[in-house]
Chain A
Amino acid sequence: SQQGEEDPQALSIQEGENATMNCSYKTSINNLQWYRQNSGRGLVHLILIRSNEREKHSGRLRVTLDTSKKSSSLLITASRAADTASYFCASRRGGANSKLTFGKGITLSVRP
């Protein structure tokens, strides 16, 4: 079953603005991952944050994790039209080869 909840469900911003997406989960986790999906395509891994980490950066991406609140946020800075996609958080309770539990996803539209 899906345990993650993202908000907002849909987000529309202007190119150049920052986009912040939030995710909550229900159980203890080993790590939390964010993925991106372009319409009708497979998923692309963006960033992973472990349960003992609080913040991580990768290029224009910044992810935070608050295990006390069971929540994570993904910030995309200086957004581009090409960032238009659906974004999913996925939590993982175990280590290698354990299953991911996906959130419902956020549809991001970046207007040129």
Chain B
Amino acid sequence: GAVVSQHPSWVICKSGTSVKIECRSLDFQATTMFWYRQFPKQSLMLMATSNEGSKATYEQGVEKDKFLINHASLTLSTLTVTSAHPEDSSFYICSSEPGTSGSYEQYFGPGTRLTVT
């Protein structure tokens, strides 16, 4: 199946700093990528839909100026958590699907665990 990678797998940063998370589709072109956040023992919450070459679409309640998304190429989308605070500590997961697969199956990255101290 298709492979989606994320980098880094975990990161610890100090409050007030910014952190960038990368999501890459390794063997397919991803015109659309999705960014989720997952708190411990909870489900995935969609944060935004990232579209290659255009602005991301954010879900209600997600601050677009705090969670900057850039999808500059067909294989890379980045999520930057700006001025991170402890409440931003979470597990961030991206997903995408091969546009030509026709299966509607999404492939998820392994996730990035962010801890803000």
Contacts and interface: CB of A to CB of B under 8 A. Distances in A.
Interface stretch (B11-19, B38-46, B68-76): B38-46
Given A30-B104, A33-B106, A42-B6, 19 more contacts: A2-B45, A41-B110, A42-B109, A42-B111, A43-B108, A45-B106, A45-B107, A48-B104, A92-B104, A96-B102, A97-B99, A99-B49, A100-B46, A100-B106, A102-B43, A102-B45, A103-B43, A104-B43, A105-B42
Interface of B: 1, 6, 31-32, 34, 42-46, 49, 60, 91, 93, 95, 97, 99, 102-111, 113
Contact of B93 (A42, A45, A104, A105): A42
A20 interface: no
A23 to B, nearest CB: 11
A41 to B, nearest CB: 6
A60 to B, nearest CB: 19
A105 to B, nearest CB: 5
A102 B45 CA distance: 7
A62 B97 CA distance: 23
9 contacts: A31-B104, A42-B108, A45-B107, A92-B104, A97-B97, A99-B34, A100-B34, A100-B95, A102-B44
Contacts of A44: 108
A88 B108 CA distance: 13
Nearest to B49: A99
B24 to A, nearest CB: 13
B15 to A, nearest CB: 23
A86 B39 CA distance: 14
A95 interface: yes
A13 B34 CA distance: 34
B89 to A, nearest CB: 14
Interface string A35-57: 10000111111001000000000
A36 B63 CA distance: 29
